Structure 1
């Protein structure tokens, strides 16, 4: 299904036999030795080809964290693409949702290097992948070929605002959220603007619009379901879904796929610190679903403005990490230092929420030393600066 456009001149040499051999030879090279490696390779290969291969080798090494070694070392990247592309696990989750909705074709607008298009194709969905940058589109096309998915992915270099998507079951839009000065916080400064992307998402039966996880809730359209996604506890993105569950809020935790859906609960009550403290996953906090997590745990908040849940009972949950609390003290570094010394704590994990003290600053001042481990929470309890000391109560269920 790919169009017949030829590869970018910056990419084409790497796709030939000589370029492929160079990339294979550079798979495990040490970037710290790049000058020596480049000098040696330029004795046998054109300098431009060596430079292009070294660039791809570096990018592939960086991309392993997002795509896994098996795919990353077959794919092609741009520096921006490595930074901004969707993590493979997140893309696979989204593609799975599309497939379960019965979607068979998707227009992937602002496709970048094709990470989402690849996941959609692997879910059996045919994809039109569109990007306005010729080199980026060439990289996306090369990735479809490299992973054996070219029959399901058509890559088109075009302005997404001029593409007719009416023949597709669904649209996926991933606007650029970085500019020349870094991250863009104004949704109308996205490329294309959020308002255009929402308009495009409203047209088909289903649509997903990738947005920054910090988007203000008041900026979310009423007809959209909003899903915040974390992977191994790290919030990766938010998605506006159209055609699914208008107004719903969902926190999805990968790799398990556990999903907490809003039930419209009021804020949890503030209560005394119990035996256990639960730290909600970032996706739960971003989705404003701490109340739902607290209800499931029969817990309350330690402070009305702090997203820490306290409870007297330990319950397994995928939506928060549990800690058993042994001590609650007013904020006082001398007392903390004395307590840690008494318990021979040398492995100190510092967490903070609602405190101006930086973890490294605290470690320097208390100078932990000894064979034991502990976790200290710098926070507020019922409005008062406090320190809670404890340890993980059970492994997090992700």
Structure 2
């Protein structure tokens, strides 16, 4: 059995193995082996560059040109430009003027491709904020107000994207008419529960199978007043668009389990999606780790968090990790990792955190603040920075929600 330092190293190794399995460059190569003829490439989202590079490796000179839209800091413009791909940055997580400019660039690129040119769309999480064309009557300031409210609302991602679709000209299948019947291949990296193509990136190329009502959501009056009176009608899926999900949280969890077994651990793989309030979830996972048999435990999902008016440092994974840290404080046989597979967790450069039974003591000594105070302020990142438990990966080239790994030895 490992000591604490060895256990922490193993959890990071297992997390990296999960990321490698769902990295965009890797997961798009095989599905593109049957693509023939010249292709125009459109890559959108946090994994856009990685997916674009995988497509270039698979298709070579068949990629005639392309447009790649991603977050600031996620694009190597000289590298992609040398292969004929134009790079554009959008705003994320709150859309900004760059997101509207990216939307204009996307529409112009599609309109100006030859009518017989096959289009290849590579879409990953983050697309909803990075690329936008607003419907009439909605301006940028309103869009930003809505998104700031959504990010702190505690709503799950499918509900958030239903609201975003209602404000947009291109979400919810809005790009379909622009194709004018030309063939399109769509590869998706899923960052949503159930891997629904209509939710990933807010379904730019997915026709609604049923009216997308918002009546079941608890929304403030000012937001509900912005929404259309009637939901968008259902539409028949077009036969010119072929859609595949090429990577998901399932793949990441399975890769993590395989690496853990390779390292000699008895593994329990929890396949249910973890959602709901992050505080409740953290206290539950902490209790389960304290009370369970020795072994390695893997979960995945995307819990939600309600933010105070002036939140501090950190995101939902850091918040979750700190809650668990308070539950396992003083234990010498437990550690727990929670991190975003995209390498980001709220504002800042941290992916999440890896905590153990000594985390609360280390943070208390360094800060002189009780962790519950930081949790109440949504300031978990400050405590975990002081305890030395933050994880930084940089952009990972993927985005399949969050991974949680616990170890008892």
Structure 1 length-normalised TM? 0.32
Query: Which of these two proteins has the greater Rg computed from alpha carbons?
Result: 1
